Chain A
Amino acid sequence: MNTTRLVAIGLAALVAAGCATTQLEEKKPAPVTESKPAPAPAPAPAPVTRAEPAPQPIDPLNDPKSALAKREVFFDFDKFDIKPEYTGLVEAHGRYLASRKDRHVVIEGNADERGSREYNLALGQKRADAVKSRLQLVGASAAQIETVSFGEERPRCTQHNEDCWWQNRRADIKYK
């Protein structure tokens, strides 16, 4: 089971990495090497105005190698505490949000199908709120974070066994 879980997380990371790469190619920022200093000391002709945009620093959010590429937090049954293996991930997003006050996220909390739908709706909310608290702990502000729960109503995986259930006990960090 643990093996399955690791493989699945790896696959999710690969998918995320694929998306990020595509985004970088589409933006086509001017390569850094083209930004030459004006030749000195000889008097030179007026520099040619380039039509290309100024080079931009790469947003770490779009870097597949960044910790920010991972945006899913998984929970144990009927639990909402963030397990040690996910604190690094959540805090990386918190620090990023602290450095980019213009960015906003929605945290979506989910639960597996077992137990009551209403309790699971409240539990999903508590999971989303737990992620929000951790983001705030490292500097993100409440105004940047919205939380919502889908309870057990939007399962990613619909089989009735633990291979599915663990995937559905999840909070997603989604950038707006």
Chain B
Amino acid sequence: MIRSLIVARVFGFALLAFAVAADAQLRVEITGVGSNQFPIAVANFQRDGQVPQEVDAIIRANLQRSGLFRLIDTGGAAIAENAVVAHGEWRARGADALVVGSIARLADGRFDIRFRLYDTVKQVQLDGLSYVSPANDLRLTAHRISDRIYEKLTGDRGVFATRIAYVVQLGRNQYELQVADADGANAQAALRSREPIISPAWSFDGTRLAYVSFESGKPVVYVHTLATGERRAVANFRGSNSAPAWSPDGKTLAVVLTRDGISQIYSIGADGSNLRRLTNSGAIDTEPVFSPDGRYIYFTSDRGGGPQIYRMSTSGADVQRVTFNGDYNVTPRISPDGRQIAYVGRRDGRFQVYVMDLASGQELAVTDTVMDESPSFAPNGRLLLYATEVNGRGILASASTDGRVRTRLSGPAGDVREPTWGPFVK
């Protein structure tokens, strides 16, 4: 009957090791939108029985937060997935696309979620899918449906079903490393500490976080497996151990150590073996990050007098300077396609996230805030998540790489900082 209906099974995340931080949800505020917003109507899904999550509302919020869609009022009526759609009527209301869906509770307690996406201009179905999901995966299913809609209409892969990690300081001696959905909801604490936690970095496969914890009184690099909560110190040498960065294959970390004097970049196995020194500059070398193709390490160095971004081969050879504008450029991050670099630049006392096209060297400030830190690319390369300060509080914000779409995510309490955007979830 429904020829394009595909049945997909949604696998649950193993989040058993996580402590729930239910009161720590981030709130989203949109401060900039795209220039051409696509008009879309997302009708309420027809429900069969009690459904614990507002799947349709989550989809609407996702599309709106992306800044690329304008939501058309649906009048609140539910439209079932298999209903006959009056394309002309929705067209007249201004919607170029329409989403309808149904949710039914199955005998085993799980839910059957179906949706269809229509192009009301061409009067054709663009997508249609069915999911079977346990109750605690309904949010994830809503994010996956949002990803399908986003990809069909923009041509880019959606990032709603991905996760982010960040650090919250809740009090003078109260720090949490939290993992949340990309919209800031469903936040879970992966680590609580009385000492600072900085520089979380997500492995390319999304299973592990590396970070720096001061819990022993000094900075030590840990690798933390999210599914099990198992963690181990992988760099704990004399002096300071910090700034972990994953190689794309997940086998190696670049780290910054002071064991031999000034902060220099080393490589070390993800199990703590095989330490090798990569830089030998006599200046600060820090914030290494691998290019997604694994060929280069970008890093911050003050070898030229002030901090600038440099690039070298993963063996430490062929060092080239990358940034030349301004006297302070730090925290390089490379886009997933390897073509753009994001960093924090200081110009006229303002610290802002810049995006540079590596081929042309053209740079663009993409934020409307002035105390920016820690940019992190979304896995589709379209958005950057970063930390900034608004009204004296540390918050997270996002900006599209063209600088048009901007949102802010603030928690109910504490300073939020050090975000890192996880990879696509398979």
Binding site for B on A (CB under 8 A): 78, 114-119, 121-123, 125-126, 129, 148-151, 153-154, 159-160
Contacts and interface: CB of A to CB of B under 8 A. Distances in A.
B418 interface: yes
B286 A119 contact: yes
Nearest to B306: A78
B330 interface: yes
Contacts of A126: 262-263, 284
A151 B198 CA distance: 11
Given A117-B418, A119-B284, 19 more contacts: A78-B328, A114-B346, A115-B344, A115-B373, A116-B331, A116-B373, A117-B373, A117-B374, A118-B198, A118-B243, A118-B287, A118-B300, A121-B263, A122-B284, A148-B218, A148-B239, A153-B214, A159-B392, A160-B371
Contact of B374 (A78, A116, A123, A125): A116
7 contacts: A78-B328, A115-B346, A116-B344, A116-B373, A117-B418, A123-B284, A148-B218
Contacts of A119: 284, 286-287, 300, 307, 330-331
A153 B240 CA distance: 13
Interface string B366-380: 000001011000000
B351 interface: yes
A126 B258 CA distance: 10
Contacts of B418: 117
3 A-B pairs with least C-beta separation: A122-B263, A153-B196, A122-B284
Contact of A117 (B198, B351, B392): B198
B332 to A, nearest CB: 10
Interface string B162-204: 0000000000000000000000000000000000101100000
B286 A160 contact: no
B392 A78 contact: no
A118 B331 contact: yes
A115 B328 contact: yes
Interface string B267-293: 000000000000000001011000000
B174 to A, nearest CB: 13
Contacts of A118: 198-199, 242-243, 256, 286-287, 300, 330-331
Contacts of B263: 121-122, 125-126
Given A117-B418, A148-B218, A129 B240 contact: no
B219 A114 contact: no
Nearest to B219: A121
A148 B240 contact: yes
Contact of A78 (B262, B286, B307): B307
Given A115-B373, A118-B286, A153-B214, A125 B262 contact: yes
A153 B389 contact: no
B284 A149 contact: no
Interface string B382-423: 000000010010000000000000000000000001100000
B19 to A, nearest CB: 23
A129 to B, nearest CB: 7
A142 to B, nearest CB: 11
A33 to B, nearest CB: 47
A117 to B, nearest CB: 5
B240 A125 contact: yes
A121 B371 CA distance: 18
Contacts of B242: 118, 121
A125 B259 CA distance: 12
Contacts of B307: 78, 115, 119
A151 B263 CA distance: 12
A121 B392 CA distance: 22
